[in-house]
Amino acid sequence: MKCRICKGEAEIYLPQYHLALCREHFLEFFLKRVKKAIKDFKMLSKGDRVLVAVSGGKDSLALWDALDLLGYETTGFFLDLGIEGASAKARAKVEEFASRRELPLKIVSLKEEFGLPLGEVAKRLREPACKLCGRLKRYYMDRAAQGFSAVATGHNLDDEVAFLFGNVLHWKEEYLSHQFPVLPAEFGFSKKVKPLVYLSERETAAYAFMRGIDHHVERCPFSQGATSIFYKNIMRQIELRMTGTRLSFLKGFYKIRDRFRNPVKEKPQPCKVCGYPTTAGGICSVCRMKIRLGLMEEPSG
């Protein structure tokens, strides 16, 4: 197989584009796709300061690498959830990436914030770890984003398509109304962007490999049997039979997304304790967790 551009030996074939590329031209292709997503959705402007939320996995580290190469001023953000056998390893990959490239990195540790790791918080609150994890990530990401133009996450095409599929299957109108690769800064929340929406997991994995990005490989121990993984596999099966379906499914949705309304459009108010925007009646969900765990007293009034 020859590279379409230079006729040298190709290293990857992209069926969706009927395109074989060598390493140099695949890396160029990848950065072009990131640039196109940023431009199509007006995610960022030149010179923006971006906080890149990194999990230590291939997608978010590939994203950090790409945004840095594209000339954005980036800072990494890692939330250390204290997940046994996972967080410390992921953190080490993130720290190594940042120090090699001399890029700034902010770390928040749940053990320091709560005095407890995620597993223990979930056990004591009798709530699924994944649900709490999502809330904690959003909260600490937003707080770390003060002074930045936007927070970028490494969600890729497979992630977004699986999420869309699940939301359509169950007609989750509220989620559909705010599933978009760019969400503006409003009500005190920071702007959120997903510059990898046009790139599949296979493509981000190839990019990470070719750029020599050492990343955390194992799946989160709490995500065993997650429906999102089941949906991703279904969508991959569909893609194998009908090339290009995933991207057209997602792009088609973006065109009609305005038709979905958030049925509970209550305006968030600052949390009485920490000031984080919340619709949960005065106290945000993270402060509530701390109160329920006895780490903090319920404010009076």
User: Phi and psi for 39 in degrees, rounded to 5?
Assistant: -75, -50
Instruction: Check if the beta carbon of residue 121 is closer than 8 Å to that of residue 135.
Output: no
| Cβ atoms of residues 293 and 116 within 8 Å | yes
Q: What, of Zn ion, ligand AMP, none, does residue 154 touch, CB below 5 to 8 Å by kind?
A: ligand AMP
Alpha helices in the chain (DSSP H): 23-40, 58-69, 87-101, 110-114, 118-125, 129-144, 157-169, 173-177, 201-210, 227-241, 245-256, 285-292
**CB 185 → ligand AMP: shortest distance, Å?**
18
Say whether residue 60 binds ligand AMP (CB under 6 A). Answer: yes
CB atoms within 10 A of CB 247: 18
Residue count at the site for ligand AMP (CB under 6 A)?
14
Q: Which of 139, 176, 177, 171 is nearest to 280 (CA)?
A: 139
Q: How far apart are CA 186 and CA 201, in angstroms?
A: 30
Instruction: Give the shortest CB-13-to-ligand AMP separation in angstroms.
Output: 25
Considering only 78, 114, 253, 260, the residue that binds ligand AMP (CB under 6 A) is 78
Looking at 73-81, 198-206, 211-219, 287-295, which segment touches Zn ion (CB under 5 A)?
287-295
Scanning the structure block, which residue is given the tokens 């990131």?
Answer: 34
Q: Which of 55-63, 115-123, 183-191, 267-275 is the region at the interface with ligand AMP (rule: CB under 6 A)? A: 55-63
Please tell me whether residue 75 binds ligand AMP under the rule CB under 6 A: no
- 154 contacts ligand AMP (rule: CB under 6 A): yes
Nearer to ligand AMP, 175 or 272 (CB): 175
Q: Which does 203 bind (CB under 5 to 8 A by kind): ligand AMP, Zn ion, none?
A: none
* CB of 60 vs ligand AMP, minimal distance in Å: 4
Q: What is the contact surface with ligand AMP in residues (CB under 6 A)?
A: 53-55, 59-60, 77-79, 81, 137, 153-155, 159
